[in-house]
Structures are given as C-alpha cells and as structure tokens.
Amino acid sequence: MIGDLGARDATELAGLVARGEVTADELLDAALAAVEARNPAINAVVLVQEEAARRSIREGLPRGPFRGVPFLIKDLGIEAKDFPAHNGSRLSMNTVYRGDNNLMLRMKATGVVTFGRTTSPEGGVGIATEAAVYGGPTRNPWNPDHTSGGSSGGAGAAVAAGIVAMAHGSDGDSSVRIPAARYGLFGFKPTRARLPDGPWSGEGWAGMAIDGFLTRSVRDTAAMLDACSGPDLGAPYFAPELRQGYAQAISRPPRRLRVALCDTTFTGEAIDPEVAEAVRAAGRLLESLGHHVEPARPRADIPGMMRAWSDIVAVGTALTIRQKLNGRPLTPDLVEGVGRGAVAHAEGLSPLRYLEAVEEIHDFGREMAWFFRPEDGPGYDILLSATLAEPPAKVGRFSHMTEDYLGFRIGPEGCFAYSPFAAVFNASGQPAASLPLGWTGSDLPIGVHLAAPFGEDEELIALCAEIEGAVYWNRRAPMAG
C-alpha cells in the first residue's frame, strides 16, 4: 500500500492517512526501515527517537495538513524537548531541552510525526556536512563521492534518499537552497523574520538566518510555511503580512513578470558551463510561459557584504563556542578547525566591528532593493541565476579541518566562490528559492535560483509552482537511494 516513500510528497502521504489507506504507524515503520536500509551509505539521520514518535501517535496527532507524515528536524538551532541534540558539535553532544521552541510547536501542530534529527556542520558555517561528532561525512545520495551540502545537508540527503518526504532545515548562508541544488529538491527561503525564532532567541546571525524546509514539491513547502509563518511573542521585528498565504498563492499563476537573467556570478565572473546553460534554459522556459526575460545583474557591493557577513558569523560562532566551553581550553578534540579559526578571527576584530558590519549588511540590503524598485531603479520582479557556480563538489573539499576561517569562507577556493549567489539574499532578507531544473552530463542535479523583492514571498512561490507545473521536475530516486 505504501510503496516507495521516495516517489510521494508529504501532501500525498497525508492524504493516504486521511482516507484510512495507511496509518501513521505504518508510515513511521516505512521511514525507520528506510533509515536502516539507506542511512548507512549517506549518514544523514541521527539521534532517532522512535518511542517519542510512537507516543505522539498514541496520544493523538493534531489534524493539520501533514497528519501522520514522518518528519525530521535539523540537528542545529531548534529546541525540542523530546529530541536531544548535538548541534553539529562535540561541545554540545546530547543537549536536552526543557521545552519546544515556537517553530517546533507550529510544526507539531501540522500533525507531522517527528522521529529524529538530521546532520549539520559544526556551527552551521559550512556548505558541506562533515562534522566530526557524527563520525563521518554526510554523502550525496546521487553519488556518495560528492558532498551533501550544508548546513541542512542531512535534511536534504534524507529527503533525496526517500527516507522522508519533507524535512526541516535552516538557511543562514543559503543552507536550505544549497542542499536543494545538490539533491534535486525544492528549497525556499522566506523573507527575513517570516518564521519565529523564540522564545530563547531573538534572531540568528543579525537577522540573516531563517528556518525552512527541504521538499519534493512546492505545495508541501507552501502548506508548511502557512502553518509556521508569523511573529511570535516579543519578536524584535517581523516580515510584512502575507496578503493571502502561500497555499492560496500557488492556486493560480502569478502575473507576467519582468525577469533579470544572470548566467555569470553577480560580479560578472564565468561559472561552470553546464550550470550557466541550466540558467539560460530556465530563462527560455520563463519566456515560453509569457514572462519577459532580459540579461541583467545587480550593482551592489557583494564582496563587501560577504566580508561583513563573515565577521558577523565569526562573532556569533565565537560567542556560542566560548559559552559552551565554560572555561575549558579551546582544543581540537572539542572544536573543529574552522570553529577555532572563527574564534581567533572574532577576537581579533575591533570592539566596534560587529555593529559596523551589521550596518554594512543593512546598506547592502538597500542596494539590492533598488534593483527591484520600479520607481527609481531597474524595476525587476525576479532575479534568475544559478544556485551554485559549479556542480556538487567532492567530499572533503570544504572540510572544517582548516583554521583559516576567512580563507574557508571568502578565499578564492572557499565557500563563497562555490556558492556566490544565494547568501546575497540572506544578507538582503529577500525571499529566494532553488528549483531542480538541470542535470550535469554525469547525472548530478543543478539548482536554478530565483529571488524576489522583500516581502514578495507569494509572487515568488506562485512562480515556482507555475514552473513546477510546466516541467514537473524529475522525482526519480537517486543511485544511493
């Protein structure tokens, strides 16, 4: 009756439960069997709590849109009382929480059956998931020699391998959209502050980090975002109100849009030819749908933004590490090289630098907003680019062993050179998405990236749904799945 979970999205699975064709326990059985069969090859699912999942079913699941659907949460930054966490670090092994944070409460209200966590890199500062605390790298189900992406690498791998149909992630440096691009999935980053951070946190990385989901379908993301959106009590700021909601937005195509197509980096450098062609093919698809597409790229201080981003994240990383060390020495057995390098970098900054960097990020957001303003700017509705400058990299390329934090982040072979697009919209706060619209000659996924003006989540997700309907992107199972 259930068949292969990898062939279904979460909405379809919830429909099976609602019609009585399968039970929540049977879906959980299937997910746990998939963990046993597939996880050893990819190392994506950790800290499984089967009894907590069974108890949630016995006690009665909420009648939300995903009632009975197996679900996984990222092992980073989400407090959940029934789910101990490592948070990607040996410093945080087996952390137990006194309660659920507000996002966890909203996700639970959809009726999902959470049964474990997914791997993440230490501190969430990398674009590969190879944290020492998990005993080995998380690998790409399409080809285990290739990296999983980060920081929601385990979440993406679990969905791509068919262990679950949907998983929680978070995105502070394109950390939902990078795994989506590497796995052939849909990843959507909402406008800044669209989702709650409380009650134990006000914001992540000066507002650049936000939660999200890895899914196979646009409708799954839309329904989960509708269930989770909105400020929580005491939020320091919040996103503009949605006009109709994500699910209603995808019920009809958007208006015909003016699209800027960039098949280079945003600073004009060439990218991998296969990736660039995937971007141009997406442009041709949008033209065939009646949208106006023309070459253009934003004129903003992207290198300056990334240096400010790196300083802000280093300070945040250093604060977390120093708090968790609690007076212990900063040694390699407790903290990986990039984390130690981030501490050294942060502690070498001027005491004024953090606020200066935040101001630079705010200035950058205004520069990017001008690109989308019809009154006095170019007035584009959508910016189309690649998600990554190259196809999925090999395992080990972005190892956290180095202590050269800046080189790791913004050096010529660093994370930003590999992923020069998506982090731009963490800094600006704009909604953005990675769509699985291309494949390399070696059968690896290529993600194509769309970004919209601040607050225009509904128009962006409506466009994503229109594209999905036009091409019905490939949902075949990967080789390691």
Catalytic residue positions?
A: 74, 151, 175
Q: Would you say how long the chain is, in residues?
A: 481
Burial 81-106 (b: 16+ CB within 10 A, else e): ebbbbbbbbbbbeeeebeebbbbbeb
> Cβ–Cβ contacts within 10 Å for residue 476, how many?
10
Closest CA to 452 of 352, 385, 376: 385
Closest CA to 117 of 212, 30, 35, 216: 35
CA distances from 426 to 181, 362, 413 (A): 16, 11, 21
> Cβ–Cβ contacts within 10 Å for residue 232, how many?
16
Are the C-beta atoms of residues 191 and 431 closer than 8 Å to each other? yes
Burial 258-284 (b: 16+ CB within 10 A, else e): bbbbbbbbbeeeebeebbbebbeebbe
DSSP state of 446: E
Burial 425-463 (b: 16+ CB within 10 A, else e): bbbbbbbbbbbbbbbbeeebbbbbbbbbbbbbbbbbbbb
In this structure, what token pair is assigned to residue 203?
A: 């914001």
Are the C-beta atoms of residues 105 and 396 closer than 8 Å to each other? no
- DSSP readout, 36-92? HHHHHHH--EES--HHHHHHHHHT----STTTT-EEEEESSS---TTS-B-TTSGGG
In this structure, what token pair is assigned to residue 435?
A: 């769509």
Terminal C-alpha separation, the chain: 20
Question: Any idea which residue has 């959209």 for tokens?
Answer: 177
Closest CA to 214 of 179, 239, 244, 241: 179
**What is the distance of C-alpha 210 from the center of its chain?**
9
Q: In angstroms, rounded to a whole number, what is the distance separating the alpha carbons of residues 146 and 55?
A: 37
Q: In a 10 Å sphere around its CB, with 0-12 CB exposed, 13-18 middle and 19+ buried, how is residue 331 labelled?
A: exposed
